Chains A and B, each alone.
Chain A
Amino acid sequence: MRLRLFDWLRPLALALAAVAVVTVATAPRATAQEGTLRVAVLNDMTNFDPMQFSTVNFFLIKNLYDSLIEYTEDGTPEPSLATSWEIAADNTAVTLTLRDDVTFATGARFTAADVAATWAKANDPTAGKNVYPTMGIVADWVVEGDHRITLRFKNPVPDRQILDLLQFSMPIEAAGIATVETQPAGTGAFRLKERLVGQRIVLEANPDYWREGEPAVATVEFTIFSDDASAAAALESGAVDMTYMGQSRTAVRLGNSGFQVVTGPGKLAQVFRINSTRGPFRNASFRQAFNHLMNREGILRVGYAGLGAVSALPWAPASPAADPSFNDEFAYDLDKARALLAASGLSAAEMADWKLLVNGSDEAAIAISQVVQASLAEVGVAIELDIRQGAEFIDALLGGDFAAVFGGVGNVQKFPSRLSTNSIYRTANNPVLGEPHPHPRYVEAIARVNSTIGSPEEVQAAYDNLNRVLVEEAFGVATNSYETGIIVAAPNVSGFVPDMDNLLVARRLRAN
């Protein structure tokens, strides 16, 4: 009797096992998503277009979208949506092979047509937004299959510049491009679950995400705090697991209290922007004096609690053009500054005939501006600060309505010519310096960097030339790199993924 029972149980067990195997094999990729990661941010986002990203939506973009390729922290390219890239021998084209197992948040399959649609948007002067200037080197593109596409350039383009463009390209679902500002349409690890304007944004895991075992948590809840102190208090009280984009000084304090402080390679460079079309700044010697008037150590300490690095050039340490030797050559030295001021031939009244524009909402800017003001006073140039608030400051900054002002510049960790995406460093249509560009040596140096495809020595020579021109023309005097996108997390948070632009990547983050 017992044997008979086993006789009919055995096939049943086998059948169940077979069903289980088939179920596991055909089920969506296994995920270990559980729990919620609570993140404090200081600004509400503006829109979901990955081509319009600014610091206010840094926390969202890399969670809703993936790039074609990524960089490691030291700048080495690695596959992402593109599994491989082949740069033509003459550097006039790059052919991408795309993953074939990727779906958008809507469930639609990711294909080369989506990449083509994304580049078409990027190449549109109106819709391309931040990416449009980068597309200036592109001639066209050819879809060579569902998962293969070739991008062709107008002229030979250096490898690193090509890679930057691929890293900057975050494919948008072709069908969602028209509505991407209000409705995310990416392949990211998360998708939008809820948004309460000015209060919070909740992302939920994309169940079909292509990276194995990611994301690590089921939801990420971003709470928008009105100020840095409140966000820090929320972290200290345990109300959130981490803060993102807080102030350096707060990060240092919290780090000393046992919290994790995570910084990435995507620094900003603090630059004393000089309008060389105005007053005494037309004089090259007068401008060059500012290379030695910058108390960079003091500025880094006062403005950024020492978090960052002094730099006489507008590069982050990860930039291929970074050259620390300039920090010694152009160190803070009031005697050298006095000599250059004397060489300018300007009278004391002429030297003091300007005001330093200051962002009144930025305490760090107010402090470091006073550092420069004090240095100037020591060499006999007494100037006043022109402190403006909010939109009034932004209008003056972007419209070039200033004599000099401190301002952060981005893209300083990538291909050096990307520097010219910042307003003061634009080579054409410069909103501060106007047309024709008053510093043709700088324009030529950027062009040389863009067109040097030769040996590493030739490329380095082009970078060296650019660096020399930057300090000699001195319409932007760099002081230091500093952190943006600082993460301060509770000790139980793990899974930090560095991003070349310091965007928040939450796909591996979890609070254990």
Chain B
Amino acid sequence: MTARLRRLSLALAALLADRGAAISLAFLVVVTLLAAGAGWLPMDAMRQDILKALEPPSAAHWFGTDELGRDILARVILGARTSLQTAAGAVAIAAVVGIPMGLVAGYFGGWRDTVLMRFVDVLLALPGILFAMAIIAVLGRSQMAALIAVGITGVPNFARITRAQVLSLRSRDFVTAVEAFGASSGYAMARTILPNAWSPIMVQAIVLASLAILLEAALAFLGIGVPPPTPSWGEMLRTGKNYLHEAPHYAVLPGIALTLTILSFDTLGRAMSRVLEDRHGQAMPAGDRQEEGR
């Protein structure tokens, strides 16, 4: 076993020692497996049976049926796929754009740092949901548009976390040594600094995933998320609220799924932060917790 794998397994063991983190991780694994295998489930999330619309939970439909007689459980599971895909895509976009920005700003400093960080400040000044709505207005309503919109709103967090890490590592001896051997700035950033800055970035990825799911649901709730008939938890909440009198399960059950998923990501993120802090003394910068909630 290599030293890296050993460190990883030790970190995982420490993480699983936290009961909340273990439960959250288990829940997320189950949700992910269900979302991935949604196509093989016996229930069809798209099949309409209007004569059975808004039926309460039963043996045939564990979560009941929606206004078009579709199985809500099947749609919650398929909705998980929408949420997780959006979260993964958004995190990827935010990381791909934000991490290089933070690297360049922190490594070079000077005017590059000023320009990039003022750009980040501008992004941070815009309310995330409004910014996402503006992007969707330009790109049109689709899952890809929602994914891009949510991803762009996550760029500043990655940029600032990475920059903070680079600033703390930039003057360390191992970086100076690499530079002294004639390494290029690209090599120093990508091969020397970044591998040592991953821990808080990973925590940020987990936290942003929960924010992305929440933002995607909010956009869908406002009617500008993934277009129907593709299920989405936010869309189900939006439609289900119209039937709260006749079929309260319609809105409540997707709402519970959404809440538990976000709670799991958040719990996992906090636990990871604690584990990393204990092991490396690397805590997330205090201010970033507040920024996540914007």
Contacts and interface: CB of A to CB of B under 8 A. Distances in A.
Interface of A: 249, 253, 295, 297-298, 301-302, 360-361, 363, 366-367, 370-371, 373-374, 377, 384-385, 387, 389
B68 A384 contact: no
A370 B242 CA distance: 17
Nearest to A299: B50
Contact of A387 (B68, B227, B239): B227
A370 B239 contact: no
A177 B77 CA distance: 61
B228 A302 contact: no
Contacts of B141: 387
Given A302-B50, A367-B68, 12 more contacts: A249-B242, A253-B246, A301-B50, A302-B53, A302-B68, A366-B228, A367-B67, A367-B239, A370-B229, A373-B229, A374-B48, A377-B46
B164 to A, nearest CB: 40
B255 to A, nearest CB: 17
B56 to A, nearest CB: 16
A389 B224 CA distance: 9
B243 to A, nearest CB: 8
A367 B227 CA distance: 12
Given A302-B68, A360-B223, A370 B228 contact: yes
Interface string B64-75: 000110000000
A387 B53 CA distance: 23
Interface in B69-102: none
Interface string B167-197: 0000000000000000000000000000000
Nearest to A257: B245
Where chain B touches its partner, the secondary structure class is loop
A374 B229 contact: yes
Contacts of B53: 301-302
B228 A385 contact: yes
Contacts of B228: 366, 370, 385, 387
B230 to A, nearest CB: 10
Given A366-B228, A367-B67, A367-B68, A361 B48 contact: no
Interface string B120-141: 0000000000000000000001
Nearest to A375: B48
Contacts of B50: 295, 297-298, 301-302, 371
Given A253-B245, A370-B228, A374-B229, A302 B223 contact: no
B234 to A, nearest CB: 14
Nearest to B141: A387
A361 B222 CA distance: 10
A374 B68 CA distance: 10
B33 to A, nearest CB: 27
Contact of A302 (B67, B224, B229, B246): B67
Contact of A371 (B46, B48, B227, B245): B48
A261 to B, nearest CB: 15
A393 to B, nearest CB: 11
A249 B53 CA distance: 13
22 contacts: A295-B50, A298-B50, A301-B50, A302-B50, A302-B53, A302-B67, A302-B68, A363-B239, A363-B242, A367-B68, A367-B239, A370-B68, A370-B228, A374-B68, A374-B229, A385-B227, A385-B228, A387-B141, A387-B223, A387-B227, A387-B228, A389-B224
Contacts of B229: 370, 373-374, 385
A403 B37 CA distance: 36
Given A302-B53, A363-B239, A387-B141, A371 B68 contact: yes
A371 B68 CA distance: 8
Contacts of A387: 141, 223, 227-228
Nearest to B238: A363
Nearest to A228: B242
A228 to B, nearest CB: 9
Interface in B202-258: 223-224, 227-229, 239, 242, 245-246
Nearest to A301: B50
Contacts of B48: 298, 370-371, 374
B227 A384 contact: yes
Choose among A371, A377, A387 the residue with the greatest number of B CB atoms under 10 Å from its CB.
Answer: A387
Contacts of A361: 223
Give me the 8 closest cross-chain CB pairs, A-B, nearest first. A298-B50, A360-B223, A374-B48, A385-B227, A387-B227, A370-B229, A363-B242, A253-B245
A361 B239 CA distance: 11
Contacts of A389: 223-224
A387 to B, nearest CB: 5
A370 B70 CA distance: 11
A289 B187 CA distance: 64
A374 B50 CA distance: 11
A303 to B, nearest CB: 9
A321 B242 CA distance: 36
Contacts of A366: 228, 239
Contacts of A384: 227
Nearest to A297: B50
A373 B70 CA distance: 14
A298 to B, nearest CB: 4
Contacts of A295: 50
Q: Which of B53, B227, B246 has the most CB of A within 10 A?
A: B227
Contacts of B46: 374, 377
Contacts of B246: 253
Nearest to A388: B141
Nearest to A303: B67
A384 B228 CA distance: 8
A62 B68 CA distance: 38
Contacts of A371: 48, 50, 68
Nearest to B48: A374
Nearest to A247: B242
A363 B67 CA distance: 11
A384 to B, nearest CB: 7
A387 B246 CA distance: 26
A70 B176 CA distance: 93
Interface in B242-277: 242, 245-246
A299 to B, nearest CB: 9
Nearest to A361: B223
A298 B69 CA distance: 10
B117 to A, nearest CB: 35
A321 B28 CA distance: 60
B130 to A, nearest CB: 15
A82 B61 CA distance: 61
A374 B245 CA distance: 26
A297 B50 CA distance: 9
A20 B223 CA distance: 67
B146 to A, nearest CB: 13
